[in-house]
């Protein structure tokens, strides 16, 4: 496999995002961005995730001044209300009970920052999940098995969470997990990174 001409940095400590980025067969490093993620007054979910995705990328630019830096942030909204991570099983069950039979829009902010030039591309990639009607027993069983306490919306779409859905709609299913790879590949190609990576032949 040929090496990319630029260092690639994922400004995230999320194992889910790192696993997604590994699909692209590109060498990359991770860096922990120090960013205040407090919502600004009257800031909607789309504006929030785009602002934070770029802020995370720029937060590690000083230590990676020549890199292409990937930042991402995700928020979920239901009936105009931003959903947070439940943190504990009880709150996850409450959140799923509220979402039963409803629709959740996931906003995944993606940023590709060229640290050398300071130029950033930023976008919100949306994905919509419609839940079927869930019984209390189904909710309890799901939370016990998948333990989705660190996930906005209280489910893991890459795990058993798919059993809770009626349908899923969007242009890029990887956006739902937290890193929209279709858009990212497009931006990487524009930045001169071959996608798929070129094989080295002897």
Catalytic residue numbers read 73
**pLDDT score for 1:** 46
Q: What is the pLDDT of residues 76-107, one digit of tens each?
A: 899 888 888 899 999 999 999 999 999 999 99
Domains of the chain: 8-190 (3.90.950.10)
SS3 166: strand
**pLDDT score for 42:** 85
H helices present in 28-123, as ranges: 45-59, 89-99
H or E stretch at 201: none
**pLDDT score for 153:** 86
CA–CA distances in Å: residue 65 to residues 16, 50, 57, 124: 25, 21, 11, 25
What DSSP letter does each residue of 149-190 carry, written as one string? TTSTTS--TTTGGGGGEEEEEES-THHHHT--HHHHHHHHHH
**Which stretches of the chain score pLDDT less than 50?**
1-3, 200-202
CA–CA distances in Å: residue 187 to residues 110, 114, 116, 117: 10, 11, 16, 15
Rounded Cα gap, residues 21 and 27, in angstroms: 9
Nearest residue to 153 via CA among 85, 100, 98? 85
pTM for this model (two decimals): 0.86
């Amino acid at each position: 496999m040929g090496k990319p001409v630029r260092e690639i940095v994922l400004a995230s400590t999320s194992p889910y995002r790192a696993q997604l980025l590994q699909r692209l067969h590109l060498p990359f490093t991770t860096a922990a961005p120090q960013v205040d993620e407090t919502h600004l007054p009257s800031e909607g979910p789309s504006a929030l995730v785009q602002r934070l995705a770029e802020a995370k990328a720029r937060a590690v630019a000083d230590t990676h001044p020549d890199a292409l830096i990937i930042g991402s942030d995700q928020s979920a909204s239901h009936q105009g209300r931003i959903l947070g991570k439940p943190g504990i099983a009880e709150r996850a069950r409450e959140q799923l009970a509220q979402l039963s039979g409803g629709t959740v829009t996931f906003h995944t902010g993606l940023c590709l920052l060229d640290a050398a030039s300071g130029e950033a591309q930023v976008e919100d990639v949306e994905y919509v999940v419609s839940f079927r009607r869930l019984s209390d027993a189904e909710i309890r069983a799901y939370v016990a098995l998948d333990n989705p306490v660190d996930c906005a919306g209280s489910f893991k779409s890459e795990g058993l969470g798919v059993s809770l859905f009626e349908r899923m709609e969007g242009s890029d299913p990887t956006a739902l997990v937290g890193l929209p790879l279709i858009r990212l590949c497009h931006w990487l190609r524009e930045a001169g990174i071959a996608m798929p990576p070129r094989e080295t032949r002897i």
